[in-house]
A and B are shown apart, each in its own frame.
Chain A
Amino acid sequence: MDEAGSWTGAGDAATVRVEAMVRDYQVKLARYVRRMTGDAEAALDLTQDVFLSAYRMLKADPERELTGGWLYRAATNGAISFLRRRKIVRMLPLDREVERAAWRIDESGPASIDLQSALRRLPPEQAAAVMLTSYAGYSSQEAAAMLHSTPEAVRQRVCRAMRVLRSVMSENESS
């Protein structure tokens, strides 16, 4: 991989594998991180970091098995770190109205707004649980492995996240 802009520079095994991962996962992963962080630019940065980490790992150990689950776990950890860092560094929350004005058409639908509003209110661990399962399509067992938790805890987090999402939906419907 050359730093000039291509994932296919050197042509070694690690590059080929990372290239395949980027092709298969970049859209799904970036969308997932964007939902987690609420920030498209940060999502692109974090997704890029995940693939770079995968590349370095494969460069060091070409036999290592890297799955989509590993990518999601790394992305989740990156997103949670980003949210914690933002909480410390930025004392003033983002301007919701300005943000909404910058949203694209596919983000401004009622379902999308409900989901993003709910995710804002959730602790990062609950948001990760609901996004890994309902959004990314992993089972509670797989999500538990990614989050270093138990399937029961993941289901509970999903249930609590659902409660918030439901309250947001009812608020928006009533308004």
Chain B
Amino acid sequence: MTVLNCRDAETAAGAIALGEATEFDRDAYRLHLSRCAHCVHTLGGEREIERTMQRLVDARDAETWQPSVSPARRRARPAGFAWGIAATAVVVAGASWLAIPHGGSSSHAAIVASASVRPVRTVQRHASAVAAAPVPRRVTVAVAPGHKLIVVHNVVQLSAPPAATRRTVAHLAAVPRPNPPRAQAPTSSDERTVADTGTTNVPQLAQHAESLALLPAVVRDVAPVGGENAIAPHPSRIAYYENAEGTTAIDVSVDERGTAVRCTVTKPSGYLVLDESVCSAAMRVRYLPRTVNGHAVSGLYHDAFTFHAGDDPQP
């Protein structure tokens, strides 16, 4: 009888799944499983493979969709398609508009003069500034002399925790705590952000300390790998010229593997470029997943960023 290695066993399992395996193949597969615990776990026995295949066949047989394909069928587009096209058109038009040499209309000339910037050079400066220094908690991005965009990173709790979490906390709150942590006073920018969003600000240090004191090894919330500064939004240049300001609050859904699977803007800033830059940055980051009793589960990460145009009061 042929002795299969693990790779051949995969092929044999596939043949069994497709009903193409001979008795000889099945015998060889059984023999391999009797010697390889790893394949027993990953590939499963013949009955298990066939049961899984049956699930797929059940899904196919349950379908009742009767689509009709005709040339006159109106082609559908994703819900965000029109907005995507519009946003792209605005960005492209804005970029090409700014790239036109001076001498156009008076309003155009005034805007370019106020920016007082040569596009290519400023892009390089912007890129080098970002690469040179790590992103601090309070960031000023200077795209051109006299044009700065200040990004204030706030941790904002947008809603009450889920019911299951609340129950856990209430249960554990009965455990006496030796040194309850003190909450850190919010900064003025935090307060303004909270006022803008109409939400409750939870200073991160206090939140972190409290979670450590209350929930020593029970619940760990989602956190970006590399700390909160790992999320570094870099808005498009058009945001600088538009003096875009506002607060973008987001919810990032993180799966049990720590991958961001969805970013929802819970409080838009009013500028698409700012919101998109925050979501793009949040989706690029890896996260430590939420854990409950040591088991990773999916969770939500709340965050908010406030963008100010103008000079940085605390450089």
Contact = CB atoms under 8 A, between A and B. Distances in A.
Interface of A: 1-7, 22, 26-27, 30-31, 34, 40-45, 47-48, 51-52, 89-93, 95-96, 104-107, 109, 111-112, 114-115, 130, 133-135, 139-140, 152, 154-160, 162-163, 165-166, 169
Nearest to B64: A106
Given A41-B76, A130-B56, 6 more contacts: A26-B67, A91-B279, A134-B53, A135-B56, A158-B14, A159-B10
22 contacts: A3-B72, A6-B72, A27-B67, A31-B65, A43-B67, A45-B76, A91-B279, A92-B279, A95-B262, A96-B262, A106-B62, A109-B58, A111-B59, A111-B62, A134-B17, A135-B60, A140-B20, A155-B13, A155-B17, A159-B43, A162-B52, A163-B43
B55 A115 contact: yes
Given A109-B62, A134-B57, A169-B55, A159 B11 contact: yes
A47 B59 CA distance: 21
Given A40-B65, A162-B52, A7 B71 contact: yes
A165 B42 CA distance: 12
Contacts of A109: 58-59, 62
B212 interface: no
B67 A166 contact: no
Contacts of B17: 134, 155, 158-159, 162
- Point out which of B10, B67, B68 has the most chain A C-beta atoms below 10 A from its C-beta: B67
B72 A93 contact: no
Contact of A157 (B12, B14, B69): B14
Contacts of B49: 162
A30 B69 contact: yes
Interface string B32-68: 0000000000111000110011011111101111111
A22 B69 contact: yes
A166 B69 contact: no
Contacts of A106: 62-65
A54 to B, nearest CB: 12
Nearest to B276: A91
Contacts of B80: 90
Interface in B60-109: 60, 62-73, 75-76, 78, 80, 84
B122 interface: no
Given A109-B62, A152-B11, A44 B73 contact: yes
Contacts of A89: 84
A166 B71 contact: no
B135 interface: no
A92 B241 CA distance: 26
Nearest to A113: B59
A129 to B, nearest CB: 9
